Amino acid sequence: MRKQWKSALLGLGLVMPSFLILLVLVMYPVWSSIKTSFTGADDQFTFEHYQYIFTEPLILNNIRHTLIVTVLSCLLVLIIAYSIAIYLRFSQSTVARWINKTYLIPMFIPGVIAVYGFINFYRDNGWVARIIGEEYMPAIIYNVKGLLMINIWFNIPFTTMLLISALQSIPNSIIEGAKDAGANQWRLFWHFILPLSYRTMLVALTFLFMGIVGSFTAPFLIDRNAPQMLGVSMQQHFSVFNEIEQSSSLAVFMFLLCSIVGCFYIYSNIKESKKELK
Amino acid sequence: MAIKLAIQNLSKLYPTGEGVQNIDFHVEEGELVTLLGPSGCGKTTVLRSVGGFIDPTGGAIKVSDQDVHHLPPEKRPSAMVFQSYNLWPHMTVFDNLAFSLKLKKVKKIEIQQRVEEVLTLVHLQGMEKKYPSELSGGQQQRIALARALLLEPEVLLLDEPFSALDAKLRHELREELRDIQSKRNLTMLFVTHDQEEALSISDKIVVMNNGHIEQIAPPQDIYNTPASLFVAQFIGRMNFIKGQAVNNTIQIGDITLTMDDLYTGEVTLGVRPEDIHVADKSSVRIEARVDKMMMLGHFAEITLHTLIGSLKMFVDRQQLEQFELNSTISIKLVNFIVFKENGEVLSNRRMNVNEMV
């Protein structure tokens, strides 16, 4: 019995430092933000900050803009990354081998440098404009298009990596069995590849959504001034307008958005696990 | 009987230099032919070429006289049962079975009926709603077989289908497969490295080694008259004794044998353990010391030390009591085969002990 206690205490002792760090650096700020978002000028409980962010047209526009950019970016990244992953999984070509070696490179380029490079490349008088002619250059920088493009640049490597690992875990034998049963390329994809990799797609989607909805560097440097992504808007309310309560309310709202996506992912995982345990 | 599957001069060479060459054999309608050989001999390459999963370098593959060489797997008139079952984990048993029928746009009622029918055939009625992960290895392989049968293939290909199962289940499924094959008059090409499996279920065995065919023959011929030293070594147990042939005699120690053929050079005598008998007084005898005795179920294996080398001998388990460790006995070689130095059979005729001088 004494031995059991000792090992329990040892376990607790080993976990405690990281738990305390989590408590101080994550849980306390979260709690503090939630509390601030519900605290009025007289230190009383209030909904007025939420009332403000959900009625103020400027912020509502920002929310709409953030959701549109996030959803579009997620969709585009998923489609492109999934296509690349499928190509890399099933192709033996030299091109596939080269893509396989290089697709992770954007992950190793610091965000700010990538954004500045992107601006130099695509601004109205940037390199592309000089090559194709300024009059033919579409507006990319300080525009949603630019933000979508940079989101794709940032997120494709990691998403592709996740999806490739999912596709590689589908044994060739399953594909061969399906072909043997008469499945053509389309049916192979629809009945086998997609169902056997959609769980990882959900994981990728969760990470993508959380990353893009709260992104700051790229929207701050590339997006237009209004509407803004919520990350930028939150920073401005906090440090430019000194509206700490409003920025806390925005932070809690973003946290809720991410929680919904997280819950959706957890729910689908539990459902799958139940099916597997059956 | 009509030839259902014809493999003509098939070759597949891999960049590593391995592969198969000049594979030529056929399978008649309703016949079960087994490709047998050690790992890496090319038997799976041949089978997968027939299934369309490997593109051969040369040769032709014909099913019912139609060249299928250019067709992708989904369009070939064959179906394959894979070693790893290959059931689709995200689909129920019913969906696994019904998939190919749905692709063929078979009516729902007929699908239901045919799935039930095939499940009865493989003794798995009532399993429709289960997922593959809920089934045992044996059940999964039965479902895999059922799925292949539903495709109504002209040739059923089986790639070591029982290798992942335990011995008892393997034996059971082997018998079931043979029953189904006979009942439905199925044409099957079966791959295995298990000689016992091959000998027990095949109409004909194709023994392969290093990418080429060593022998094609019915199981009893493969066992009784192996075409090469490799086949003799690979199929069943055999004692090998080195000797020296001069014209029509073979000298092994102080024993001299005669043969019909003329040959001079080193030879190897192959003797099956069951072809070594205890000698009576009238026979030409070899003195042997009993070194080891091992019970192997319904028979026993005795290791003998003789002047011509160490020999294994099989006896019935009831006879084991007659032997004593380290005792000396007299034995005779009832049958043996002589192989040349290059592994070829010197004479196809099995010689017998009366020819010993």
| Cβ contacts of B134 on chain A, cutoff 8 Å | 278
Percent of chain B with pLDDT over 70: 96
Instruction: For residue A151, tell me if it sits in a domain.
Output: yes
Residue range A110-133: average pLDDT? 90
Rounded CA separation B83/B164 (Å): 7
Would you place residue A267 in the very low, low, confident or very high pLDDT band (cuts 50, 70, 90)?
confident
Determine whether the interchain pair B147/A181 forms a contact, defined as Cβ–Cβ distance below 8 Å.
Answer: yes
- Cα of B73 to nearest chain A Cα, Å: 5
Number of domains in chain B: 2
Instruction: For residue B192, tell me if it sits in a domain.
Output: yes
Token pair, residue A137, equals: 């250059």
What are the tens digits of pLDDT across the range B183-212? 889 999 999 999 999 999 999 999 999 999
User: Is residue B279 domain-shared with residue B164, that is, in the same domain?
Assistant: no
Token pair, residue B180, equals: 């189904």
Structural domain that includes position A102: 55-277
Determine whether the interchain pair A278/B134 forms a contact, defined as Cβ–Cβ distance below 8 Å.
Answer: yes
Q: Specify which of A80-84, A133-137, B319-323, B341-345 reaches the highest per-range mean pLDDT.
A: A80-84
Would you place residue B249 in the very low, low, confident or very high pLDDT band (cuts 50, 70, 90)?
confident
Instruction: For residue B20, tell me if it sits in a domain.
Output: yes
Would you place residue B142 in the very low, low, confident or very high pLDDT band (cuts 50, 70, 90)?
very high
User: Is residue B11 domain-shared with residue B159, that is, in the same domain?
Assistant: yes
A76: number of Cβ within 10 Å: 17
Rounded CA separation B318/B315 (Å): 8
Complete DSSP assignment for B204-222: EEEEEETTEEEEEE-HHHH
Instruction: For residue A27, tell me if it sits in a domain.
Output: no
What are the tens digits of pLDDT across the range B22-52? 999 999 999 999 999 999 899 999 999 999 9
User: Is residue B170 domain-shared with residue B303, that is, in the same domain?
Assistant: no
Write out the residues of chain A at the interface with chain B, using a CB-CB cutoff of 8 A: 171, 173-174, 176-184, 187, 191-192, 195-196, 275-276, 278
User: Is residue B348 domain-shared with residue B252, that is, in the same domain?
Assistant: yes
For helices A244-277 and A57-90, give the axis angle rounded to 10 degrees. Answer: 40
Of B86, B100, B134, nearest to A182 by CB-CB distance is B100
Q: Are strands B19-28 and B212-217 parallel, antiparallel or unpaired?
A: unpaired
- At A144, phi and psi to the nearest 5? -60, -35
Instruction: For residue A161, tell me if it sits in a domain.
Output: yes
Q: Specify which of A64-73, B268-277, B313-322, B344-353 reaches the highest per-range mean pLDDT.
A: A64-73
ipTM over 0.90 threshold: no
Structural domain that includes position B282: 237-355
Give the C-alpha distances (Å, rounded to integers) separating A62 from A58, A66, A73, A100, A213: 6, 6, 16, 37, 11
What are the tens digits of pLDDT across the range B290-320? 999 998 888 999 999 998 889 999 999 888 8
Residue B170 CA, distance from chain mean position: 14
User: Is residue B138 domain-shared with residue B170, that is, in the same domain?
Assistant: yes
Dihedral angle at the C-alpha atoms of A74, A75, A81, A85, nearest 10 degrees?
130
Residue range A186-208: average pLDDT? 92
What are the tens digits of pLDDT across the range B224-235? 989 999 999 999
| Cβ contacts of B53 on chain A, cutoff 8 Å | 176, 179
Determine whether the interchain pair A182/B147 forms a contact, defined as Cβ–Cβ distance below 8 Å.
Answer: no
- Cα of B86 to nearest chain A Cα, Å: 5
Report the residue count for chain B: 357
| Cβ contacts of B90 on chain A, cutoff 8 Å | 195-196
Instruction: State residue A72's pLDDT score.
Output: 96
| Cβ contacts of A276 on chain B, cutoff 8 Å | 131, 133
Instruction: State residue B21's pLDDT score.
Output: 92
- Cα of A136 to nearest chain B Cα, Å: 47
User: Is residue B210 domain-shared with residue B329, that is, in the same domain?
Assistant: no
Kindly tell me if the per-residue pLDDT of B283 is higher than 80: no
| Cβ contacts of B100 on chain A, cutoff 8 Å | 181-182
A167: number of Cβ within 10 Å: 18
| Cβ contacts of B151 on chain A, cutoff 8 Å | 180-182
User: Is residue B112 domain-shared with residue B152, that is, in the same domain?
Assistant: yes
Instruction: For residue B232, tell me if it sits in a domain.
Output: no
User: Is residue B173 domain-shared with residue B304, that is, in the same domain?
Assistant: no
If one compares B27 and A270, the residue with the highest pLDDT of the two is B27
Number of domains in chain A: 1
Instruction: State residue B350's pLDDT score.
Output: 54
In sequence order, the 6+-apart residues with CB closer than 8 A to the CB of B168 are none
In sequence order, the 6+-apart residues with CB closer than 8 A to the CB of B127 are B93, B119, B135, B139, B143
User: Is residue B197 domain-shared with residue B316, that is, in the same domain?
Assistant: no
| Cβ contacts of B147 on chain A, cutoff 8 Å | 181
Determine whether the interchain pair A178/B131 forms a contact, defined as Cβ–Cβ distance below 8 Å.
Answer: no
Instruction: For residue B179, tell me if it sits in a domain.
Output: yes
Would you place residue B357 in the very low, low, confident or very high pLDDT band (cuts 50, 70, 90)?
very low
Nearest CA in chain B to A197: B90
Instruction: For residue A36, tell me if it sits in a domain.
Output: no
If one compares A276 and B91, the residue with the highest pLDDT of the two is B91
| Cβ contacts of B72 on chain A, cutoff 8 Å | 179
Instruction: State residue B25's pLDDT score.
Output: 96
Percent of chain B with pLDDT over 90: 63
Instruction: State residue B147's pLDDT score.
Output: 94
**What's the mean pLDDT when you consider all of chain A?**
90
Of A182, A195, A196, nearest to B74 by CB-CB distance is A182
Instruction: For residue B311, tell me if it sits in a domain.
Output: yes
Instruction: State residue B348's pLDDT score.
Output: 58
Token pair, residue A69, equals: 């950019």
Determine whether the interchain pair B133/A184 forms a contact, defined as Cβ–Cβ distance below 8 Å.
Answer: no
Instruction: For residue B152, tell me if it sits in a domain.
Output: yes
- At B330, phi and psi to the nearest 5? -110, 135
Give the CATH number, domain containing residue A248.
1.10.3720.10
Rounded CA separation B146/B97 (Å): 7
Cis amide prior to A227 (ω within 30 degrees): yes
* Final residue in a domain of this structure, among B173, B201, B226: B226
Would you place residue A1 in the very low, low, confident or very high pLDDT band (cuts 50, 70, 90)?
low
What are the tens digits of pLDDT across the range A70-93? 999 999 999 999 999 999 999 989
Name residue A120's amino acid. N
Instruction: For residue B231, tell me if it sits in a domain.
Output: no
Determine whether the interchain pair A179/B73 forms a contact, defined as Cβ–Cβ distance below 8 Å.
Answer: yes
User: Is residue B146 domain-shared with residue B221, that is, in the same domain?
Assistant: yes
User: Is residue B209 domain-shared with residue B282, that is, in the same domain?
Assistant: no
Instruction: For residue A69, tell me if it sits in a domain.
Output: yes
* Final residue in a domain of this structure, among B184, B201, B226: B226
Percent of chain A with pLDDT over 70: 98
Determine whether the interchain pair B84/A278 forms a contact, defined as Cβ–Cβ distance below 8 Å.
Answer: no
- Cα of A72 to nearest chain B Cα, Å: 30
Determine whether the interchain pair A182/B103 forms a contact, defined as Cβ–Cβ distance below 8 Å.
Answer: yes
Determine whether the interchain pair B74/A180 forms a contact, defined as Cβ–Cβ distance below 8 Å.
Answer: yes
Instruction: State residue B349's pLDDT score.
Output: 53
* Final residue in a domain of this structure, among B226, B255, B279: B226
Give the CATH number, domain containing residue B339.
2.40.50.100
Kindly tell me if the per-residue pLDDT of B355 is higher than 60: no
User: Is residue B217 domain-shared with residue B256, that is, in the same domain?
Assistant: no
Nearest CA in chain A to B92: A275
Kindly tell me if the per-residue pLDDT of B260 is higher than 80: no
Of B74, B104, B133, nearest to A184 by CB-CB distance is B74
Instruction: State residue B173's pLDDT score.
Output: 87
